[in-house]
Amino acid sequence: MDTQTQRILTDEMIAEIREMYKHFPVKKAACIEALKLIQKHHRWVSDQAVQELAEVLDMSPDEIDSVATFYNLIFRKPVGRHVILICDSVSCWIMGYEQIAGYLKQKLGIEFGETTPDGRFTLIPICCLGTCDRAPAMFIDEDLHRDLTVEQIDAILERYP
């Protein structure tokens, strides 16, 4: 790696990853947790982060990337400050998903997988949030919003500057 390039993984993050893999039979088994740690600090996992993590876990960058791209909640491109995960399961479809999704797209001016021009929100569909009895539902960051109606959306979005 070019010595002029600023590292993504700080010494503290590397120490935390090394502590993680002590709890697994092999270093590679800590890959998902390490990717989640990187994302927690940077909101997404860049190619450079994949390279650096590969060095720490004694894996190839391709192996790291294979894991990262398999899991849809590991983001391999930049996302907004707030990620909206809207459930598109059958239960949510029946209970009004299409209206909620349509309103979010219109309100934010983006399609699924896109980020608002101000970098505030990224909108992503997800197959299930496990709250079918309270559909339709969405997560914003780590907050679950259930029993959604279009009328609630503006007030919910206002909570996320």
CATH for 11-70, options being 1.10.3720.10, 3.30.1490.20, 1.10.20.10, 1.10.10.1590: 1.10.10.1590
Q: What would the pLDDT profile of 25-56 be if each residue is shown by its tens digit?
A: 999 999 999 999 999 999 999 999 999 999 99
pLDDT-based confidence at residue 72 (cuts at 50, 70, 90)? confident
> Which residues does residue 125 pair with via DSSP β-bridges, in sequence order?
86
Structure tokens at 149: 């109606």
Indicate if the pLDDT at residue 1 is higher than 80: no
Mean pLDDT of 125-136: 95
Spell out the residues 6+ positions from residue 19 whose beta carbon is closer than 8 angstroms to its own.
none
pLDDT band at 155 (very low <50, low <70, confident <90, very high): very high
For the chain, the structural domain boundaries read: 11-70, 82-158
Amino acid identity of residue 2, one-letter, is D
The reply, when asked if residue 132 is annotated as ligand binding, is yes
Name the average pLDDT for the chain.
95
CATH code for the part of the protein at 82-158: 3.40.30.10
Closest CA to 30 of 9, 14, 47: 14
Give the tokens for residue 89: 């399961």
Q: Is 92 annotated as a binding residue?
A: yes
Half-sphere exposure of 41 (CA within 13 A, CB side): 18
